C-alpha cells in the first residue's frame, strides 16, 4: 500500500469517528561513519518510518504514533489517538486548520541524488582522522565523523492538506585533542553541504587543528567589564538559548517576558532580527510548518522594537491573531512553536571599527542551558576565546566566566558588522556584534 493510501485509510477512520485530525509521516535514511586509529570504528546504516496522528474531537486533543505500517497497526493508531483525546482536557483554541493546500519542495535542489559511493565516504572519514592525528602535538581525534542523511516529511489532514518536504544533509566534523606538557585542549569544527563534493576535508582538518592549537596556552584574564564579540558559532547558540522570548506558546503559558512588549523597544535600534525559512542556502529551510501552514519571512525585532512573536494555529487563536507558520510537531510530540532559521541584518561597521581597541572574542561557552534562565534573562557561562586589541589577538583565554542578562545585553550593542556569516551547520546567518561592558570573571 502506498504512503498516500495509508494516509487516506487513517484519515477516513478519523472522519468516521466524527473527529478531525492531521497526520505526520516521517521517513529517513542515514549513513554514519567514524574512524579511530586509522581504522573504521563505526559504519552504521539506518532507516526509519514513523506515523504521528493528532485528532481533535469535542475540543479534546489526542495524539498517538506507530512505527509499524500494516493495516492492523494503523487502525490501532487511530483508536489510540481517539482514546487519548477522550481523557484530555478541553482545549478550545487547538483546531485542525481548514487547509486544503498541496505543497511540495523541489527534490533536485534540496535533496540532490548522491553521486558519491559509500567507499568514497569511508575514505573521507579515514582521511580526516589520519590527517588530523598526524598534526604536531595531536594525541588523538576523539570525535570525528562523516554523515549522510535524507529525511522526508509528509503532512496530511482531514481538511484536504497534502504537504511534502524532502532534504539531504551531508556533514563531516572533527575534534583534535592536543597535549603539550601539562597543557591540553580539545576543539573542533564541522561542515555541512547537500552534495558530497562540497565537503572540504583539508579545510576542516586545518580549522580543527588551528582552533585547538591556538587555545592551548589559554589562561584567565583579570575580572572586569569587557566589550565582547561572540563568534559565528556561539552567537546563534546564545540566541537559541533565549529563543523563548519570541514564542507565542510561552506567551500563552504566561512565562514569556516579552508577552506584553509588542511594539516596544527591547534592544538597541541597530538590531533587526528575522526568521527567514525560505532561504534555501540554509539547512533550516522550510516550505511549510508542521501544521502545513506555508512558511514566510517574519521580522521579529525591527530596529530594536519587538515586532512579532511566532505562532502556531493554537497560539494564534488564543491571541486572536494568525499563524505565522511556526507550528512544530513531531510524530511523537504535541503541538508547539519553533523558529526555522534566524537571521540578523548586517550593520554598518567595517572591520576596522568593529575591532578597534580592546575586546574579547568568545569562541566557546559551556553550561549553555544549565547556566541560563530564559524567563529572567540571567546567564552565567564558562567561556574561552581570545583577548584582542585593534584586530590582533593578544592572548588566548580560558577558565573565565561571562555573566549578565541577555535582555539587557541586547540594549548594549556597540557595533554590528557589515558582513553576515552562516554558522557551520547553516542554521543561522548573523553578522559580528560587539556588545559593550559584559562582566567577565577570571
Domain ranges of the chain: 3-214, 217-238+346-441
- Average pLDDT, whole number, for the chain? 97
Q: pLDDT per residue over 124-135, tens digit each? A: 999 999 999 999
Q: State residue 98's pLDDT score.
A: 95
**Is the sign of the CA dihedral 38, 42, 45, 51 positive or negative?**
negative
Q: Are 414 and 328 in contact (CB under 8 A)?
A: no
Q: What is the pLDDT of residue 1?
A: 81
Q: Phi first, then psi: what are they for 41, rounded to 5°?
A: -90, -35
**CA angle, 168 then 171 then 174, to 5°:** 170
Integer distance in angstroms from the first to the last C-alpha of the chain? Answer: 64
Positions in the chain whose pLDDT score sits under 50: none
CATH class of domain segment(s) 3-214: alpha beta
pTM score, whole prediction: 0.95
- Three-state SS sequence of the chain: CCHHHHHHHHHHHHHHCCCEEEEEEEEEEEEEEEEECCEEEEEEEEEEEEEEEEEEECCEEEEEEECCCCHHHHHHHHHHHHHHHHCCCECCCCCCCCCCCEEECCHHHHCCCCCCCHHHHHHHHHHHHHHHHCCCCEEEEEEEEEEEEEEEEEEEECCCCEEEEEEEEEEEEEEEEEEECCEEEEEEEEEEECCHHHCCHHHHHHHHHHHHHHHCCCECCCCEEEEEEECCCHHHHHHHHCHHHHEHHHHHCCCCCCCCCCCCECCCCCCCEEECCCCCCCCCCCCECCCCCECCCEEEEECCEECCCECCHHHHHHCCCCCCCCEECCCCCCCEECCCCEEECCCCECHHHHCCCEEEEEEEEECCCCCECCCCCEEEEEEEEEEEECCEEEEEEEEEEEEEEHHHHCCCEEEEEEEEEECCCCCEEEEEEEEEEEEEEC
Separation of alpha carbons 275 and 277, rounded Å? 6
Residue 306, burial from CB neighbour count under 10 angstroms (0-12, 13-18, 19+): buried
Q: What angle do CA 68, 19, 322 make, to 5 degrees?
A: 100
> Is residue 218 a contact partner of residue 396, using CB atoms and an 8 Å limit?
yes
The candidate with the shortest Cα–Cα distance to 247, out of 289, 300, 293, 202, is: 300
Whole-number pLDDT of residue 346: 98
pLDDT at 421: 98
Dihedral (Cα; 257, 258, 259, 262), 10-degree rounding: 160
Residue (of 144, 140, 33, 16) closest to 78 by Cα position = 16
Give the model's pLDDT for residue 156: 99
397 strand-pairing partners: 219, 385
Q: Is the dihedral of CA 73, 77, 82, 85 positive or negative?
A: positive
What is the structure's pLDDT at 31? 98
Distance (Å, whole) CA 229 – CA 409: 12
C-alpha gyration radius of the chain: 24
Cβ-based neighbours of 258, under 8 Å, separated by 6 or more: 245, 246, 251, 266, 306, 309
Neighbouring CB atoms inside 10 A of 72's CB total 8
CA distance 278 to 103: 14
How much is the pLDDT for 442?
86
Amino acid at each position: 500500500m502506498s504512503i498516500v493510501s495509508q494516509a487516506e485509510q487513517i484519515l477516513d477512520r478519523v472522519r468516521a469517528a466524527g473527529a478531525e485530525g492531521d497526520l505526520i509521516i516521517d521517513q529517513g535514511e542515514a549513513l554514519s561513519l567514524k574512524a579511530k586509529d586509522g581504522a573504521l570504528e563505526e559504519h552504521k546504516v539506518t532507516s526509519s518510518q514513523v506515523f504521528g496522528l493528532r485528532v481533535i474531537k469535542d475540543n479534546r486533543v489526542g495524539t498517538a504514533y506507530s512505527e509499524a505500517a500494516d493495516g492492523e497497526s494503523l487502525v490501532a493508531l487511530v483508536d489510540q489517538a481517539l482514546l487519548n483525546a477522550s481523557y484530555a482536557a478541553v482545549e478550545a483554541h487547538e483546531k485542525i486548520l481548514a487547509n486544503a493546500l498541496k505543497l511540495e519542495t523541489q527534490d533536485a535542489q534540496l535533496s540532490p541524488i548522491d553521486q558519491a559511493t559509500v567507499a568514497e565516504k569511508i575514505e573521507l572519514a579515514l582521511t580526516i582522522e589520519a590527517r588530523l592525528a598526524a598534526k604536531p602535538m595531536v594525541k588523538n581525534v576523539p570525535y570525528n565523523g562523516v554523515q549522510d542523511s535524507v529525511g522526508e516529511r509528509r503532512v496530511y489532514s482531514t481538511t484536504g492538506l497534502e504537504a511534502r518536504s524532502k532534504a539531504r544533509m551531508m556533514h563531516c566534523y572533527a575534534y583534535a585533542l592536543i597535549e603539550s606538557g601539562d597543557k591540553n585542549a580539545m576543539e573542533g569544527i564541522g561542515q555541512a553541504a547537500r552534495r558530497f563534493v562540497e565537503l572540504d576535508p583539508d579545510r576542516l582538518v586545518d580549522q580543527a587543528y588551528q582552533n585547538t592549537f591556538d587555545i592551548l596556552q589559554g589562561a584567565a584574564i583579570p575580572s572586569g567589564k569587557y566589550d565582547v564579540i561572540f563568534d559565528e558559532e556561539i552567537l546563534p547558540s546564545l540566541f537559541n538559548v533565549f529563543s523563548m522570548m519570541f514564542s507565542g506558546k510561552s506567551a500563552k503559558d504566561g512565562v514569556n517576558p516579552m508577552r506584553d512588549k509588542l511594539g516596544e523597544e527591547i534592544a538597541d535600534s541597530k538590531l533587526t532580527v528575522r526568521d527567514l525559512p525560505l532561504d534555501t542556502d540554509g539547512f533550516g529551510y522550510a516550505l511549510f510548518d508542521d501544521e502545513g501552514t506555508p512558511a514566510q519571512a517574519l521580522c521579529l525585532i525591527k530596529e530594536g522594537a519587538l515586532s512579532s512573536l511566532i505562532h502556531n494555529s493554537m497560539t494564534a487563536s488564543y491571541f486572536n491573531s494568525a499563524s505565522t507558520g511556526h507550528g512544530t510537531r513531531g510524530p511523537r510530540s504535541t503541538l508547539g512553536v519553533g523558529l526555522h532559521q534566524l537571521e540578523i541584518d548586517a550593520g554598518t561597521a567595517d572591520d576596522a571599527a568593529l575591532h578597534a581597541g580592546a575586546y574579547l572574542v568568545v569562541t566557546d561557552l559551556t553550561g549553555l542551558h544549565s547556566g541560563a534562565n530564559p524567563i529572567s534573562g540571567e546567564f552565567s557561562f564558562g567561556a574561552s576565546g581570545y583577548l584582542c586589541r585593534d584586530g590582533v589577538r593578544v592572548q588566548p583565554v580560558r577558565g573565565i566566566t561571562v555573566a549578565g542578562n541577555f535582555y539587557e545585553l541586547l540594549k548594549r550593542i556597540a557595533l554590528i558588522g557589515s558582513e553576515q556569516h552562516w554558522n557551520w551547520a547553516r542554521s543561522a546567518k548573523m553578522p559580528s556584534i560587539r556588545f559593550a561592558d559584559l562582566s567577565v570573571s577570571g
